[in-house]
Structure 1
């Protein structure tokens, strides 16, 4: 994946996804780049360094991204958009910017507004994860065999796209090109709505008069349906905020299916 140009890769956000990306980047034996981590949580940053997901960590964003050849934004969608703005004065022309956000249209629009032709932006979204969060849940095998959506900007160079594809393939994932808006529509159905339904089911039972008995009687079916409740709440909030229209559309269709069952 790497060539001599890739001297510093910066991962912003060293949680589950960021640290897993880092583990795969660090695993390349012939790598010619340094992997640097940045996280607002010093604990997460330190854990990522100690587990070998990054070579080093930097506390301040401006210091981290300066002279970076590639920046990986592994934070929730809203935070990623804020980072695009905050780091712009310190990002060199020609830098590759990629992300792992759960929604793509809003991110790609913001990136174009902030950077124009200054950098190559290649949006991505690995369809992999866990109900656990933080670097302690990271794994070098997290992305193995998983689909990984890729949404390059119109001005992204072919060489930059190849670099990002190399990162994806290094992780054992399968890159899939998709339009940002189409991505958000589809992922709302197969990822975002299931998350919200998981939360709704858990809350429904937890708030009932039978919660204590339900805890004892619940089997694998209930646990499988509600395991997503244990995920990162900031990510869930960000998903709803950046993909509201598509999510509401699918929820209404789901409501229609429930009405059919009720009326049967």
Structure 2
């Protein structure tokens, strides 16, 4: 049976394990983490067949290895595991920055493995395996950023996992990924941190806090995120984050100038800006600008179509054997009768 090893059993690693376990992939899932508390929580989640204390024990024999550690720890983990990867192993990650991770993979990983960068656009402000949620990936984009030397079958394997957990595979270049994600994920966190800092550093915060309600809670929620994870994101993806922060500051300053206009704000101009933002958000929530939802039931799945482009139908049959038979495969059920 195919074995998937997940390195890092925190929120993302354990959530991914739960999602895979409840999917139609028939695989064994092994976890490992340097933190004994994370290992214990992962074991209690029931998502893993076993949780190893040693990295090498988890890696050896694995067909797929997923790095779900903080980004800054990935290079060290890759180096430590370099001699333990099986021939033809598919290696991937779930990190929020892709350029540095792909660079590390190129420099550190052995040539007999294929690295395919991955980033599910899902998460929580909470951390740890106790907060894991196997449903968090459903309907979310799953960015797939193959390395230059990745085998086509490896790309298809990661795509299959993404689809199996209910996510929507989204192929994207490394530079585009790091810029676009900075806009919709990293910038909102920085905004949340700035808002929390602006309000809480006020001399009147004790009184202000008593008035803060749902709006403030919604906008400051991300500031409750894992400091280690966000530190690593900022350290590994600073340029795109700064660029989007500059754009946001310009936008905010334009709003500031509208309010500070001599003679008072122009009500019509303000209404137009607010209505434009409201409509833009409504279009986004309605998926009007999203293409990945426009799939009909008679069109092959993303994994199937990409797999057939890369490997042909025979290659896809081999790929299905690689991941084991689907639990609900009629042919498989017939054999059991």
TM-score range, shorter chain: over 0.9
1:15 corresponds, among 10, 19, 30, to 10
Please report how far the alpha carbon of residue 201 of structure 1 lies from its aligned counterpart in structure 2 after TM superposition: 0.8
Distance (Å, rounded) in 1 between the aligned partners of 2:187 and 2:25: 41
Asked if 1 retains the 8 angstrom alpha-carbon contact of 2:82 and 2:110, the reply is: no
- For 2:115, what is the secondary structure of its paired residue? strand
- For 2:136, what is the secondary structure of its paired residue? coil
Please report how far the alpha carbon of residue 160 of structure 1 lies from its aligned counterpart in structure 2 after TM superposition: 1.6
Please report how far the alpha carbon of residue 29 of structure 1 lies from its aligned counterpart in structure 2 after TM superposition: 5.8
Deviations 1:57-114 (A, max 9, x none): 1101122212211111111211122211221122223111010000111101110112
1:233 corresponds, among 206, 227, 234, to 227
Rg bigger for which structure?
Answer: 2
Q: Hey, what does 2:32 align to over in structure 1? A: 38
Distance (Å, rounded) in 2 between the aligned partners of 1:36 and 1:21: 12
Deviates more, 1:220-229 or 1:156-165: 156-165
Q: Hey, what does 1:213 align to over in structure 2? A: 207
In the alignment, is residue 109 of structure 1 matched against residue 109 of structure 2?
A: no
Deviates more, 1:78-87 or 1:215-224: 78-87
2:71 corresponds, among 59, 63, 77, to 77
Shift in alpha-carbon separation, 1:30–1:242, aligned structure 2, 3 A: closer
Q: Hey, what does 1:172 align to over in structure 2? A: 166
In the alignment, is residue 64 of structure 1 matched against residue 73 of structure 2?
A: no
Q: TM-score, normalised by structure 1?
A: 0.93
Asked if 2 retains the 8 angstrom alpha-carbon contact of 1:25 and 1:167, the reply is: yes
| Structure 1: tracts of 5 or more residues without a match | none
* Runs ≥4 residues deviating over 3 A: none
| Structure 2: tracts of 5 or more residues without a match | 259-337
1:128 corresponds, among 98, 117, 122, to 122
Asked if 2 retains the 8 angstrom alpha-carbon contact of 1:36 and 1:58, the reply is: yes
Q: Hey, what does 1:25 align to over in structure 2? A: 20
Shift in alpha-carbon separation, 1:105–1:29, aligned structure 2, 3 A: closer
